[in-house]
Amino acid sequence: MPPTDRFVISFAAEPPQEPLPYGRWADTLRNHFLAACSEIDSDGEELGEPGEIVWFPDRTFGGRAYIPAVARTSTGYELFGFVSFSEASGGPGDFQARAEFTAELAESNPDWKLDLNDDVIGTWRGEEGKTAEMTLVWGVPLIPGGAVVTAELANLAVDQCALVEQRFTLIAPDNYRSDYLEVKLWGKGGEELARESLYVEDEDSEPETEQAPDS
């Protein structure tokens, strides 16, 4: 195989290792996530009380496991973020959590085929000092028939995740050499069902993220 001109980190994260959180483990994660939610700067908006938390598949990168989460509030906002932790001999430790909110909901955007959230969790340095934003992406398909979701950078697959109860989590490089991530949904037969960018193009500006902080 000849050398590639797309030298970029790919499939860097471990695939999901555990079932979706439940029981005491879910309670532990919930406490950390709600603590992060309580620190959100709401810009004067009344966010209300969080409802049931929906957990997404775990992914591990750089020695830390990341478990994303989403929750609707009593005033109609959506809280989204993640809990991360390191694994030690005594079990999970060094918990960290982030959370944000949005008023952009799937039911208000009937053109969406994937409901995505994302957050930058680190950087990767490539050739000539160029850096990629290592980005945690999680969400759900809004159309039926999906089996696997991939993250692609300039049509190069850099991560994938099988759907777990119609949820997925990806960790992939983004914003590298002027290339930006696309998330694609695939059917069981390998057919492409949907694709979404993390960005909304403005005519007079650089791409802006659709739903997520920090990207």
pLDDT tens per residue across span 168-193: 999 999 999 999 999 999 999 999 99
Handedness of CA 34, 37, 38, 44 (dihedral sign): negative
The secondary structure element, H or E, covering residue 32 is helix 23-38
Q: What is the pLDDT of residue 201?
A: 58
In the block, residue with structure tokens 């000092």: 129
Q: State the chain's mean pLDDT as an integer.
A: 92
**Which of 85, 155, 146, 81 shows the shortest CA–CA distance to 118?**
81
- The model's pLDDT over 82-122, given as tens digits with 9 standing for 90+, comes to 999 998 888 899 999 999 999 999 999 999 999 999 999 99
> Cβ of 194: how many Cβ atoms within 10 Å?
18
The amino acid sitting at 25 is W
Tell me 11's DSSP state: S
**Position 209 pLDDT exceeds 60:** no
Structure confidence at residue 87 (pLDDT) = 87
pLDDT for position 156 = 94
**Predicted confidence (pLDDT) at residue 142 exceeds the cutoff of 50:** yes
Dihedral angle of Cα 126, 132, 134, 136, to the nearest 10 degrees: -150
Q: Would you say residue 203 has pLDDT above 60?
A: no
Q: What angle do CA 135, 80, 192 make, to 5 degrees?
A: 55
DSSP 115: E
37 has a pLDDT exceeding 90: yes
Per DSSP, the chain holds a count of helices (H) and strands (E) of 1, 14
Mean pLDDT of 38-61: 96
Three-state DSSP state, 92: strand
Instruction: Show the tokens assigned to 171.
Output: 């960790």
Instruction: Provide the whole-model pTM.
Output: 0.90
Given a contact cutoff of 8 angstroms between Cβ atoms, the answer to whether 199 and 207 are in contact is: yes
